[in-house]
Structure 1
Amino acid sequence: MTVLIIAYLGGVLTILSPCILPILPFVFARTEGPFARSTLPMLAGMAASFALVATLAAVGGSWAVRANEYGRLAAVMLLAAFGVSLLSPRVAYLLAQPAVDLGNRLATSAGSARSAPAIASSLVLGAATGLLWAPCAGPILGLVLTGAALQGANLETTFLLFAYAAGAATPLAVALIVGGKVFAVMKRSLGVGERIRQCVGAAVLASLAAIALGLDTGVLTQVSYASTASFEQEVLERFHERPAAGAPSKVARNNAMQLEADSKRPFRSGLPSEGRAPALNGAVEWLNSAPLTNEQLRGKVVLVNFWTYSCINCIRTIPYVRAWAEKYKDKGLVVVGVHTPEFAFEKRIDNVRQALGGFNIGYPVAIDNDYRIWRAFENSYWPAHYLIDAKGEIRYHQFGEGNYPQTEKAIQDLLREAGSETAASAPVVPDAKGAEVGPDMSNIGSGETYLGYRRAANFASPEGLQADATYHYSFAKPNLNGWGLSGTWTIGAQQATLTQPGGGIAYRFRARDLHLVLGPGAAGKPIRFRVTIDGKDPGNDRGSDIDASGNGTVTATKLYQLVRQSADVTVRNFEIRFLDRGVEAFAFTFG
């Protein structure tokens, strides 16, 4: 139930997002009719079709991608006809006549079905709107879609997506009720009903043009990136089933009383108990250590770090986790990394082992390829930190990047509570390099972008995305946050694979850093590439994995830092060309 509430509130917050703008004309065009027969069915149809299509897109195969493309085309045609009908009474009469005839027949046979055609038409228009709606993927929607991709198609996924869509429909319904009354007053007092109708029709056609040009998933997405993310993160923190520090549960209060009665240890932390820590059972293998059990760790303070090695957010937390492991290893802290994969290549243990060497990670790492530890902790985040006290209770958590001083203070408190002579000290200042350096949040205007068709968005090549097919693509000038391919590629569910040398990827972005997850493919041979920025050598704007001329080599499947803007952050055109065939490209991330 809590997750449904979170999804619903995430939908409500979309009213603050610019990505809602393209569908507003479609919705406001129904304000003239009664709410129950016009507006409500349209919003219900929008929510239902969005939930169904988003479920299929998250877990379906190439057939789902093609079905969605055809559905969007049909929706554009239907809504275009609707927009023209608002501009022209003659067209409206011709389009409405079949529905009127059907209504007359139904009324004759049933006597009470005069509203059926109106309700049906509103449902159809709502379903078409749901096919075109592309909400900005903030933390809450990203969490729901990631869960769908990991767990497969099920009723829970559909209910969560429907709850999200219902949340978006709620403020729209309120706005429509108010807007309908305003329009009614304007028509009565000013006599401009037909002019309002024509303006709405023009707005509908303008929105369709914006959607066809990709502005709904390009410009508006980057404008919205920072507008609701902080609100959504606050919702996640407040409603997550684990209580926040400072809001102790009944169990926490009981434990506090027990700790107060315990006079053996002078220091008592105010961190609440969040329940018993699950067992670290289910790992397919352990690296840097023999398997660890809760019994072996009893009496120690344990930091459990959920991560995956190509996740940029995880990579940026590694310097801190590494520094804590070193600083407090003799004070009673044990750091346990739980590597839970997002992509299939992250399940290969040799890849993880190589990543541990690259990141200089020496603490134990459990390979959680079957998600057994992930599910035992009821975790939903990369990265996520859980602090377990000496008695085996979870006392603190941190989801995502940030709050490093607070996390270190919690480590110090639990070590002192366990009897260590750890004194409060200044937070660590880790030696972070390359992709490990923290993001420049004030200048990020681009978000994570997947190249596999299962979660691809903003694809700008004129040929369109061809799922599970080898196809020759060409570049088109993309909008901001749009990307495209050139050359011969096969786009799979998780990655795009280059089948002939000379192909490339282009992306128009705004951020200090640009990263791209790349791999050498099944052959495993090094793949040479060259990066240009605005058509020129990167120079001082090169990332840590290329030289000043833009040259680099894909030697392993991992995240490559390709751009770090050295001066003012501006919108740039990134292009990478591969001199050899076989490269696999998975996802862009930014910092």
Structure 2
Amino acid sequence: MLAESLTGKTAPEFSNLRGWVNTSPLTMTGLRGKVVLLDFWTYSCVNCVRSLPHMKLLHKEYAGDTFVLIGVHTPEFEFERIPENVASAVKRFGIGYPVAIDSENTTWRLYGNQYWPRQTVIDSKGTVRWEHAGEGDYDKMEDRIRDLLKETGKLADNKIKAGSNKLEKFGFVQNTTPEIYMGTLRSQGFGNGQVCVPGSCTRYIDPGKHSRDVPYLSGDWTQFPEYVMHETDESGYVLLKYGARNTNAVLGVSDTKPVRLNVQLDGKPIEKGKAGADIQWDSTGGYLVVAENRLYVIVRTKAFEIHELKLVTNSDDLRFYTYTFG
């Protein structure tokens, strides 16, 4: 589903960008003669991150004189507007294709977008020929690109498909916990039955009984528009009973000092067999180190499972933006 379809229309020009990564500035006019794939993404979005291997494979197989893939980085959170943060994320993910920094969401709006990720395929004459919102349909995407390359006469008849559908797929499992936002702008509320914003209460008390898919806070937290922030060096935690295979969180700090979170699953230190890629270990068990604002992979299991995840901190600088699941 797309907010506004541009299929059959001239692709809008890039506008009001804050810069580029991996290239000098590009224009849609200057790209005439090439087939162009625009991938609208943001680096804290788990759906976008899962689509990156498919984008990288298409770039590897087809980039050249007649095809270019451009990532249009459009932020969801304020910290993603900073060009240096975008450049760091591009390097961390090993992205080699051009990335436009659309920090004011201007190009995003020109393309009628409301979703991360979203792909737009443009032919060599500058006309939008195919659009897609969300993950998936990578085989169809590659077919459309190949069709347009054939129109230019530049795709060899014996060129084998990259076959990005062979990469790991992340299908939807019924009853998977939906994305949960912690800030006032999009929060559905906490199980504590109270909200502490600047100038009001800060102390949350865990009631002890927990409903599924509802976050619970314990300790001194304050809710801001995009996140909740732990305000003291006394121990506090965020707890969530969820159902999913993979669990991630967008976390951050305002200072440069790293923050440690101890990770518990069902009241015990997380097991190595269930730990996500960002979990580290010491004699006390698994923990996270939050040193920058980004998506952290916390739990990864082989199948859909229901667990109670507790993230414990004694930092007065932890920001918790959102949970995402898969």
User: Is this a same-fold pair by TM over 0.5?
Assistant: yes
Is 1:551 aligned to 2:287, yes or no? Answer: yes
Aligned to 1:508: 241
CA distance in 1, matches of 2:183, 2:25: 35
Aligned to 1:346: 80
Is 1:454 aligned to 2:156, yes or no? Answer: no
Determine helix, strand or coil for the equivalent of 1:414.
helix
CA distance in 1, matches of 2:57, 2:246: 24
Task: Give the aligned length.
Answer: 318
Deviations 1:303-339 (A, max 9, x none): 1111111011111111111111111113621111111
CA contact (8 A) 1:339 1:367 kept: yes
CA offset at residue 445 of structure 1?
Answer: 2.0
Could you tell me which of 195, 210, 232 is aligned with 1:478? 210
Q: Which runs of 5+ in 2 are unaligned?
A: none
CA contact (8 A) 2:138 2:164 kept: no
Deviations 1:520-572 (A, max 9, x none): 22x12100111111011221111111036321200110000101123x42221
CA contact (8 A) 1:440 1:512 kept: no
Which letter maps to 1:386? T
Residues 110-149 of structure 1: pairs in structure 2 closer than 5 A: none
Aligned to 1:332: 66
When residues 484 and 547 of structure 1 are mapped into structure 2, their CA distance, relative to the original with a 3 A threshold, is same
Aligned to 2:222: 490
Aligned to 1:527: 259
Determine helix, strand or coil for the equivalent of 2:143.
helix
* Over 6 Å off, 4+ runs: none
Which letter maps to 2:306? V
CA contact (8 A) 2:263 2:309 kept: yes
Which letter maps to 1:494? E
Is 1:412 aligned to 2:146, yes or no? Answer: yes
CA offset at residue 295 of structure 1?
Answer: 2.4
Aligned to 1:296: 30
Aligned to 1:466: 196
Aligned to 1:380: 114
CA distance in 2, matches of 1:486, 1:325: 46
CA contact (8 A) 2:119 2:131 kept: yes
CA contact (8 A) 2:146 2:155 kept: no
Which letter maps to 1:353? A
CA contact (8 A) 2:13 2:29 kept: no
Higher relative contact order (CA 8 A, sep 6+): 2
Task: Kindly report the root-mean-square deviation, in angstroms, between the aligned alpha carbons of the 2 structures.
Answer: 1.9
CA contact (8 A) 2:34 2:65 kept: no
CA distance in 1, matches of 2:134, 2:149: 23
Determine helix, strand or coil for the equivalent of 2:113.
coil
Determine which structure has the larger helix proportion and give its number: 1
Aligned to 2:317: 582
Aligned to 1:441: 172
Residues 79-90 of structure 1: pairs in structure 2 closer than 5 A: none
Aligned to 1:242: 5
CA offset at residue 431 of structure 1?
Answer: 9.5
CA contact (8 A) 2:35 2:149 kept: yes
Aligned to 1:389: 123
CA contact (8 A) 1:458 1:481 kept: no
Determine helix, strand or coil for the equivalent of 2:289.
strand
TM-score of the superposition, structure 1-length normalised?
0.52
CA distance in 2, matches of 1:309, 1:519: 13
Which letter maps to 1:450? Y
CA offset at residue 453 of structure 1?
Answer: 1.3
Residues 9-408 of structure 1: pairs in structure 2 closer than 5 A: 236=1, 241-242=4-5, 274-330=8-64, 332-408=66-142
Deviations 1:165-195 (A, max 9, x none): xxxxxxxxxxxxxxxxxxxxxxxxxxxxxxx
CA distance in 1, matches of 2:295, 2:316: 19
CA distance in 2, matches of 1:439, 1:461: 32
Could you tell me which of 564, 567, 570 is aligned with 2:300? 564
